[in-house]
Structure 1
Amino acid sequence: MRVIAVNIIFRLYEVFSLKEKRSIKRKVIERIKNKFNISIAETGSMDSLTTLEISFSAVSNDYKHLDEIYQNVINFIESNFMLEIVDVQKEFL
């Protein structure tokens, strides 16, 4: 069994309240969760208006398949959301 754990930090612009940030976070997480069979949640920077940190993980028998999932999620985020990706940390377990 192989596991991938990914942490992504986004920079948010023109967000003026935590309510707005939560709305953006919910949309991002729900759309990714519905499209891919992964576990995903907000994992940090919860009180920051300008930073959104989410993490996801997936399980497979093959590292290649996990890397494809990772690439597909990143491509989906870049093509469907107006978010700037600041940092991505990927770890295979």
Structure 2
Amino acid sequence: GLPMTPPGNIGNSDREARRVLKSITTRVGNKFNVSIAEVDDQSLWQSAVLGICCVSNNSRYTNEVLSRVVDFIVNSRFEVEILDYEIEILPV
């Protein structure tokens, strides 16, 4: 998963946090053709964990896409801070 937290300037609002999260999931899903969903901490507006999935028969391509997703979130104007991330490739 991709645990993240909004910085202090996002406000103390579940609605605002959900708006930012929805923006991230929509833009990432559309731009990179990946599946993305909130997978943990759904009851907390102060944090979220996103799961991102890319299916391919080429592990290098999959790793590249997932790395680009993380870079996109970090370098975009989303109001979040990524706390940690892990890329796991599952062979089929």
TM interval, short-chain normalised: 0.7 to 0.9
In structure 2, the partner of 1:27 is 23
Q: Give the structure with the higher percent strand.
A: 1
> RMSD across aligned C-alpha pairs, in angstroms?
1.2
Matched, 1:17 2:36: no
Deviant stretches of 4+, over 6 Å:
none
Gap runs ≥5 in structure 2? none
In structure 1, the partner of 2:62 is 66
Aligned residues: 87
In structure 1, the partner of 2:82 is 85
1:27 Cα offset (Å): 0.4
Q: Percent identity?
A: 29
Q: 1:44 to 1:15 in 2, by over 3 A?
A: farther
Equivalent of 1:42 in 38, 46, 49:
38
TM-score calculated relative to the size of structure 2: 0.86
Gap runs ≥5 in structure 1? 1-6
